[in-house]
Amino acid sequence: MPQLLIVTLGPIQDFIAAARRCRDLWFGSWLLSELSKATARAMAEECGLDSLVFPGVSDWKQLEPPSPTSKPSSVANKIVVRVPDGKDPAAVARRGEAGMRQRLKSLRDEAFDCIRGERFLRSRAKQQVDELIEITWVSAPEDGPQGYAAAREAAESLLAARKNTRLWGPVPWGDTVPKSAIDGERESVLYEDVFDQVLAEKLTPDEVRKLYGVGPKERLCGVGLLKRHGKREGSRYAHRFLSTGHLAAWPIYERTRAVRDPELERVWKEYLAVLEQWGVPLKEQEIVQGDGWSHLALFERYDGSLLFENRLPELFEEVILDRERRQKAVQAARTALARVLEKIGVKTPLPYYAILVADGDRMGKAIERQTSFEKHRDLSRQLDLFAQSVRVIVETDHAGELIYAGGDDVLAFVPLHRAVACAGKLAEAFHKQLSGFPVEEKEGEKKVTPTLSAGIGISHFMDPMGGALKLARRAEARAKKKRNSLAVIVDKRSGPPVEVAGCWGHLDQRLNYYVDLHLNDQIPDGAAYELRELDRLVEWTEADLKSDSEDLKKKREGLENVVKKEAARILGRKQPQHGEVGGIDASVLDGLLQDIKALPVSAVADRLIVARLLAQA
């Protein structure tokens, strides 16, 4: 009889989250997808392509390594295959693991061959990479009246038990040396005398970066070096990926995209000439490969962090050791950059960027409802079609950069001013693709189509990448509390994070409306902050909020009514357009007052604050 085989690869989230640079995240996500793809391909070669349930592919090309002409695809770390009668599930799983190990070895060796320095423990780095991926598999026979459904349920139960009873063996490497700067788990594989030579000024930071791909104090393990030097086949990016500074500069790039201004092009080229004159290797600032693709007409192929004045000292620190000469170089570059920004019409670029994380709602129930192999595979293929559409939505329609799209999971960098619109389009596409697989919350209740919840984390481009990713995942978790929702968290460097959350069709529409108000200067920038300060007058303790005391409830309601009336008074006396208009337009004021009646004053204030940042972008 056939057997249902489930294979999982790990670790996943911890490995992806361990990132100091965008490139670490970009390559790490792709690497795990490639290893899952290799596993699935090897098992499909043994059992047949039609035996695959997850991933829901219909063409062998989707499981091949990417090339410049192929369509990029992602595969999740969980592979489900129906093993035909007569074949051994254990042998099929071992075939899948062998395919995965072979692909990992190929990518590992290619990456380590790029390291030009000799002070590198290659054999230990290989061991660390080889120990990276753990493969777990379980199988269950399709017997009894329930057949496939019973096998899937039994296999899932076995998988949970297997993960809870895993054994931890000793690692084959280890020494009393510094840990990796990315995750602090594995030992550094770079000789310490590399960093000693930097301190002794026998090696410059630029030389260390070229030799090993690390900063002057950045220790990395074998896995970290794989992320840093690995090559994504078929990618348009060359030796580096987009920096967080480049992501923050996206709105400026978009602003200059439509109109070719010869004067702006002139001052931009003058700025590049100043950088080159003072020793900055512009080749190292390129982000794309080849001559057939240019990121933008004006800025050609250079990293957007060049538009931020506060990055200039760090840029020259790597190439000019003499402090006095370095200060002169920074000043010359600042003057040239100021002329560029003046022509663009921006005094200081907005230093924030967005990470979008999305996940399907009710997918567990949707999978449980598919009681046959054919229906389960059909659901999987619909998820694969959605994942294929994600790249077009993110990169073509909203000028972002997709990091990962596998099944119902999405991770992407999106231009700040397009983040909400991009998340909305993803939710629409997911709902449409899954419309044929309705689920019910409880037995007897109305069936609903699975939905997509999205979180957007907005961080300063100089904050650690790991923290920015955690912020986006926190936003996603908040959105999934209600399901079919959007959550946005803005973490500015001053003050606590600002969080807003709400269902699709409401929060996104109100944010867009508030953005329009700010763009048309129909509401003063300071109004939101006054409302926020006002609401703090009635902050309650957790115990007070949970109390059943009638007196406390009445007191709370009374104070909240007073706050709402005071909020209406504050808005009523505001004068938009820098005081040139006597008051907020009547229709605008009425809409704001309706929001204040329906929501806590703090929620309205936070939405206005988030919308103001989006309007600035």
User: Mutual orientation of helices 89-112 and 22-47 as an angle, nearest 10°?
Assistant: 140
Q: How far apart are CA 610 and CA 461, in angstroms?
A: 17
Task: Indicate if the pLDDT at residue 292 is higher than 50.
Answer: no
pLDDT band at 300 (very low <50, low <70, confident <90, very high): low
Task: Indicate if the pLDDT at residue 335 is higher than 50.
Answer: yes
Q: What letters, b where the CB count within 10 A reaches 16 and e where it falls short, cover 89-111? A: beebbbbbbebbbebbeebbeeb
Looking at residue 294, what is its pLDDT?
46
Query: What does the pLDDT look like over 358-402, one tens digit per residue?
Result: 999 998 888 888 888 889 999 999 998 998 899 999 988 998 888
Cβ atoms 28, 19 nearer than 8 A:
yes
Looking at residue 142, what is its pLDDT?
87
Higher pLDDT, 58 or 478: 478
pLDDT band at 114 (very low <50, low <70, confident <90, very high): confident
Mean pLDDT of all residues in 44-60: 88
Whole-number CA gyration radius for the chain:
27
Of 3.30.70.270, 3.90.25.10, 3.40.1350.10, 3.40.50.300, the CATH number of 351-505 is 3.30.70.270
Q: Which helix (H) or strand (E) holds 53?
A: strand 52-54
Strand partners, 302: 286
Q: How far apart are CA 584 and CA 521, in angstroms?
A: 10
Give me the phi and psi of 137, to 5 degrees please: -140, 150
Higher pLDDT, 250 or 198: 250
Within 218-351, residue ranges assigned H as helices are 222-229, 244-257, 262-277, 312-317, 323-344
pLDDT band at 168 (very low <50, low <70, confident <90, very high): low
Same fold, 3-112+132-170 and 351-505: yes
Mean pLDDT of all residues in 104-125: 89
Q: How far apart are CA 40 and CA 35, in angstroms?
A: 9
Q: Looking at residue 286, what DSSP letter applies?
A: B
- CA–CA distances in Å: residue 162 to residues 88, 136, 155, 167, 469: 19, 8, 10, 10, 29
pLDDT band at 295 (very low <50, low <70, confident <90, very high): very low
Mean pLDDT of all residues in 246-264: 80
Cβ atoms 215, 102 nearer than 8 A:
no
Q: Where are the chain's structural domains?
A: 3-112+132-170, 244-344, 351-505, 516-617
Q: How far apart are CA 137 and CA 85, in angstroms?
A: 18
Cβ atoms 602, 532 nearer than 8 A:
yes
Looking at residue 315, what is its pLDDT?
83
Cβ atoms 409, 475 nearer than 8 A:
no
pLDDT band at 172 (very low <50, low <70, confident <90, very high): low
Nearest C-alpha neighbor of 585 from the set 594, 575, 595: 575
Task: Indicate if the pLDDT at residue 72 is higher than 70.
Answer: no
Higher pLDDT, 448 or 16: 448
Mean pLDDT of all residues in 143-150: 80
Higher pLDDT, 570 or 278: 278
Give me the phi and psi of 503, to 5 degrees please: -75, 155
Mean pLDDT of all residues in 585-594: 80
Mean pLDDT of all residues in 335-357: 91
Looking at residue 118, what is its pLDDT?
85
Task: Indicate if the pLDDT at residue 293 is higher than 60.
Answer: no
Looking at residue 264, what is its pLDDT?
86
Residue type, 340: V
Higher pLDDT, 188 or 237: 188
Nearest C-alpha neighbor of 325 from the set 285, 277, 282, 268: 277
pLDDT band at 552 (very low <50, low <70, confident <90, very high): low
pTM above 0.75, yes or no: yes
**What would the two tokens of residue 588 be?**
């605008």
Query: What does the pLDDT look like over 397-443, one tens digit per residue?
Result: 998 888 888 888 999 999 999 999 999 999 999 999 999 888 887 66
Looking at residue 202, what is its pLDDT?
79
Backbone angle region of 107, left / alpha / beta, with phi > 0 → left and psi within -120 to 50 → alpha: alpha
The percent of residues in the chain predicted with pLDDT above 70, rounded, is: 87
Q: What CATH number has the domain spanning 3-112+132-170?
A: 3.30.70.2220
Task: Supply the mean pLDDT for the chain.
Answer: 83
Looking at residue 311, what is its pLDDT?
87
Looking at residue 134, what is its pLDDT?
86
